[in-house]
Amino acid sequence: MYFISTRGGDEKVSAPEAIVKGIADNGGLFVPETFPQVTEEDLLEMLKMDYAERAAFIMGKFLDEYDYGELLSECKRAYSKFEHDVAPVICMDGGPYVLELYHGPTCAFKDVALQILPYLLRRGAQLCGIQDDLMILAATSGDTGKAALEGFKNIPGMKICVFYPSEGISRMQKIQMCTTEGNNIDVIGVQGDFDDCQKTVKTLFADEETNEQLKERGVRLSSANSINFGRLCPQIVYYFSAYLDLVTGERLGLGEEMDFVVPTGNFGNVLAGYYAKLMGLPIRRLHCASNSNNVITEFLQRGEYNAERELVRTTSPAMDILISSNVERLLFEATGRDGVKVAEYMRELKETGKYKVSDKERGYIQLTFDGGYANEDECVEAMYNLFVRTSYTMDTHTGCGMKVLDDWHDNNRKDTTVQVLICTANPYKFPQDVLYAVTGNDVKDSFKGIKRLHAATAMPVPKALSSLKDKPILYDMVISPEDAAGVVVEFADGKAHGGVDIGENE
């Protein structure tokens, strides 16, 4: 299978090349030249499979250059690290269906992709004949950073550098990242918000001088964000798996349509669901949930993307984003795969902070997508109401999704379509905020918050979080975006920026 750029041009690359490069030469995002189809016979076959087998089956349709047996083996290895089922669908009395995606090593949905991405990159580099080390750059709004660090740490031939907004993530997320041990990692705070981090990473990819300096050191850049198709591809799988589990549980008939409600910031999670639909999964609608930074909501309703506003810092920091990169991939399909037009929209966004699609394009998008949002009070209320009704505890991002789902039901009372709310993070990643939502109690310390939340809910505390209390902080540098290039080159020379000398990546 070949991949092309959302911004047009003649570049056409294989799956290994798309995954290793991360971004197209013209700054666009790689998309499949065509979407492989999953038939009803395929779905029947997948009913018998476990999650790892389903993952290899779906990803293998895009990754035909990879050996299938090896891909299956690596999927089994990656998903054996999850504490429970990888992506269980919870059917609770008096509540919604919930797809829990937080049972991996770092307690967030990013683990589903970032436990398999190191293999896809490493093997992709081999298939491309690349001898250089790969340096993974990741901008994070909280969860991608730790999941990427956990996936890539100590892997020979790879380095990983994570940029996070110094004041824009939760205390627990920061502790998770800055206590990570490994001989090939660097964790850097950036003055600004996630959009500044994301812009910094994209600038580094396009910076010829920085890339030349890295080349002299035998290093080339790649990405772990959802701009990389290798990050996006594994996320398609859990939409198929959730559907199949509902069929197996006799909650859904094979071929019957369903909806997903998806908390979304950078638009990668929900785009994976859209790609599943393009492959033939019977998805009727994708309901996008935002917080007070409701750029996506307005775009889906009005067709105008307007990032010219002040970012609001919320208790759902992974959605504190104004420029959602993966919308570009949706635009590519909505414009009839017109790369020139997409490039023009992206130019307008860069220069003016906004763009507006045509009525035809907006209509295409609204056939599948709708959006809603929750402010802070509405998120708390939705979390509290569900907890009182069902004793189910959810994180703040999923709380925004719960509000959007409640609104849909209020406005469409006769709608009986099966709907699944995607649960993106373990509640203990945001202990103080979740504790406040379900009990009204307010504590300052994250670990006291964990203790009291456990007392209130009896929900098991993941070892990955409870063990952080006594770990030392290893990375504490904060830089301006302008200093990022120098930091990356220093890292290529073997210097991490928390007072830790990592030496060479043997």
Spatial separation of the C-alpha atoms in residues 124 and 129, rounded to whole Å: 9
Give residue 498's pLDDT.
65
Does residue 69 register a pLDDT over 80? yes
pLDDT of residue 205 exceeding 60, the answer is yes
- Please, what is the average pLDDT of the chain? 94
Decide if pLDDT at 55 tops 50: yes
- From 110, 174, 202, 277, the catalytic residue: 110
Kindly indicate the confidence band of residue 307, based on its pLDDT and cuts at 50, 70 and 90. Answer: very high
| Alpha-carbon span 59 to 66, nearest angstrom | 10
Distances (CA, A) of 66 to 63, 235, 406, 503: 6, 18, 43, 32
Residue 256 vs residue 494, higher pLDDT: 256
Q: How far is CA 347 from CA 194, 202, 362, 397, in A?
A: 20, 14, 19, 30
pLDDT score for 500: 43
Is it the case that residue 137 has pLDDT exceeding 80? yes
Arithmetic mean of pLDDT, 322-347: 97
Nearest alpha-carbon partner for 263 in 362, 141, 361, 174? 141
Q: In this model, does residue 503 exceed pLDDT 80?
A: no
pLDDT value, residue 170: 87
Condensed to tens digits (0 to 9), the pLDDT of residues 449-484 reads: 999 999 999 999 999 999 998 899 999 899 999 999
Question: In the predicted model, what is the mean pLDDT of residues 316-322?
Answer: 94
CA nearest to 134, candidates 442, 376, 491, 495: 491
Establish whether 110 is a catalytic residue.
yes
**Is the pLDDT confidence value at 505 over 70?**
no
Angle (CA) 301 307 311, round 5°: 110
Nearest to 373 by CA among 271, 215, 482, 262: 262
Question: Do residues 80 and 402 lie in contact, with contact meaning Cβ atoms separated by under 8 Å?
Answer: no
The whole-angstrom separation of Cα 269 and Cα 400 is 15
Residue count of the chain: 506
Question: What pLDDT shows up at residue 39?
Answer: 96
Q: Which two tokens stand for residue 150?
A: 């956990």
What does the pLDDT look like over 342-382, one tens digit per residue?
999 999 999 999 999 999 999 999 999 999 999 999 999 99
Query: CA 130 from chain center: how many Å?
Result: 27
Tokens describing residue 445: 């310390």
User: Quick one: average pLDDT of 176-198?
Assistant: 93
Average pLDDT over residues 194-200: 91
User: Model confidence at 506, in pLDDT bands (50, 70, 90)?
Assistant: very low
Look at residue 203 and tell me whether its pLDDT is greater than 80: yes
Range 62-94 burial, b when 16+ CB lie within 10 A, else e: bbeebeeeebbebbeebbeebeeebbbbeeeee
pLDDT in tens, 224-265: 989 999 999 999 999 999 999 999 999 999 999 999 999 999
Cα 371 from Cα 300, distance rounded (Å): 6
**Residues 303, 436 contacting (CB under 8 angstroms):** no
Q: Report which of 238, 219, 296 is spatially closest to residue 504, judged by C-alpha positions.
A: 219
Rounding to the nearest 10 degrees, give the CA dihedral for residues 446, 433, 457, 260: -130
Check pLDDT > 50 for residue 422: yes
**pLDDT for the residue 141:** 84
State the greatest distance between any 2 C-alpha atoms of the chain, in Å, as a whole number.
64
Average pLDDT of 106-131?
96
User: Residue 33 pLDDT > 70, yes or no?
Assistant: yes
The mean pLDDT value for 320-336 works out to: 97
